[in-house]
Structure 1
Amino acid sequence: MATDSPLINLTHHFLIAMPGMQDEAFARSVIYLCEHTERGALGLIINKPSDISVQGLFDKVELPLRRDDLTRTPVFSGGPVQTERGFVLHESMMPGHESVYASTMTIPGGLEMTTSRDVLEAMSTGAGPRRVFVSLGYSAWGEGQLESELLDNSWLTVEADLAVIFDAPVPERYDRALKLLGLESWMISPDAGHA
């Protein structure tokens, strides 16, 4: 019987890069996994701000931003795939109901990821979701790729804590994610290996 769920389902989990991560795009990164199925995984890096603010993004797409709480908030580099495309991670507007936005992925844990312009239009009027995380680009793994990286000890995993995404200061997000596992960065060897 075919299923869309991998042996382990890390949807709504953080991937925390091990200190030995060589790939510069992912070194010291914390990735929120929006989807993990047998076909692969998709997530957003939550601790690497880009050089553009939400206000700057709204200026680029020619929308006003009537949300003082977001004007100086950075847009994040969500990953190396489709870096020109915007992704808005936000709380569900109506939990348990279909999204009010055109192109939205519902994520267990009370979040949605929207890629359609209508979420930006709602935010431009001062409405829209209260807590948002905006990124350009995303991170993706093909079938079996993430599982292989986990076996190689490239990542630590832990169930996501929304406070790390929406409330923690950006420079503290890596350490805060590690603390969810009871770890400090000095406790982890940069040399990944198997016992």
Structure 2
Amino acid sequence: MYTNIDIFKIETNHVVPAQGKVLISEPFLCDHVFGRSVILLVDHTHDGTMGLVMNKPLPVCLNDILEGFHCKENIPIYKGGPISMDTLFYLHTLDGIKGALPIDKNFYLNGDFEAIKAYIMQGYPIKGKIRFFLGYSGWEHKQLCQEIHENTWLVSKENIASLMDEEASDELWKKALCKLGGKYEIWSRFPQIPIFN
């Protein structure tokens, strides 16, 4: 049973970051990029960490940014992070795409973009299969571990498929916390700026 003090004490859940795991921001992080964010770690080595913010849709679609690309479906673009915002990244479930980086079972990063475009233009499903991002999130060696130690992030073993299916910004963050249970579920109901409660 949690006391009131325990509930409001923000502390790490002691899960170690790794490729394929997820960062969930603490509820009071006031940052337009990382506040209430859910970040999939696509690379985590001694050299540093790379992640993609899964729940920050941009007000543009794929047709808007690719010259000569005309798809009937409005395919959303997400803000993967503040680094290299002029670069397109894509997370997908398409096995056999040349040059794709395996992230987790049945999930890959990037690869032959012509093959990705061909898949889309042939009318195959997009939702839950491919997600596009502009930019990425990056941490230098030990930087992420320091931020976790400072209780900025929780680390989760979230199912990537569930992240790919969810579109709403705050809802994905809330659901990720609720899956951790206990006091983390209570965090999901905190106002981002407590004074406005």
TM-score by length of 2: 0.76
Give the corresponding residue for 2:25.
17
How far apart, CA to CA, are the structure 1 residues paired with 2:121 and 2:191? 45
Structure 1 contact 18–190 (Cα < 8 Å) conserved: no
Taking structure 1 as reference, are residues 178 and 72 closer, same or farther at Cα in structure 2, changes over 3 Å only? same
Give the corresponding residue for 2:57.
49
RMSD over aligned CA atoms reads 2.6
1:148 aligns with 2:159: no
Residue 11 of structure 1: CA displacement? Answer: 1.3
Give the corresponding residue for 1:4.
none
What code does the residue aligned with 1:162 have? Answer: I
How far apart, CA to CA, are the structure 1 residues paired with 2:121 and 2:189? 45
How far apart, CA to CA, are the structure 1 residues paired with 2:69 and 2:104? 30
Moved beyond 4 Å, runs of 4+: 127-130, 187-191
Residue 115 of structure 1: CA displacement? Answer: 5.4
Aligned equivalent of 2:87, options 85, 88, 111: 85
In structure 1, list runs of 5 or more residues that go unmatched: 1-6, 94-98
What code does the residue aligned with 1:178 have? Answer: L
How far apart, CA to CA, are the structure 2 residues paired with 1:41 and 1:91? 22
Matches within 5 A, 1:111-190: 111-114=107-110, 116-126=112-122, 131-171=129-169, 172-182=171-181, 183-184=185-186, 185-186=188-189
In structure 2, list runs of 5 or more residues that go unmatched: 1-14
Residue 46 of structure 1: CA displacement? Answer: 0.6
The total of aligned residue pairs comes to 173
Taking structure 1 as reference, are residues 144 and 19 closer, same or farther at Cα in structure 2, changes over 3 Å only? same
What code does the residue aligned with 1:140 have? Answer: G
1:30 aligns with 2:29: no
User: What are the superposed Cα offsets for residues 1-58 of structure 1, whole Å, 9 maximum, x if unpaired?
Assistant: xxxxxx944211111111222332211111011111121111110100011113323x
How far apart, CA to CA, are the structure 2 residues paired with 1:77 and 1:36? 20
What code does the residue aligned with 1:108 have? Answer: D
TM-score by length of 1: 0.77
What code does the residue aligned with 1:81 have? Answer: I
Structure 2 contact 63–69 (Cα < 8 Å) conserved: no
Taking structure 1 as reference, are residues 35 and 128 closer, same or farther at Cα in structure 2, changes over 3 Å only? farther
Q: Secondary structure at the match of 1:180?
A: helix
Residue 85 of structure 1: CA displacement? Answer: 0.6
Structure 1 contact 14–32 (Cα < 8 Å) conserved: yes
How far apart, CA to CA, are the structure 2 residues paired with 1:73 and 1:117? 15
Give % identity: 27
1:74 aligns with 2:76: yes
Taking structure 1 as reference, are residues 40 and 190 closer, same or farther at Cα in structure 2, changes over 3 Å only? farther
How far apart, CA to CA, are the structure 2 residues paired with 1:123 and 1:135? 18
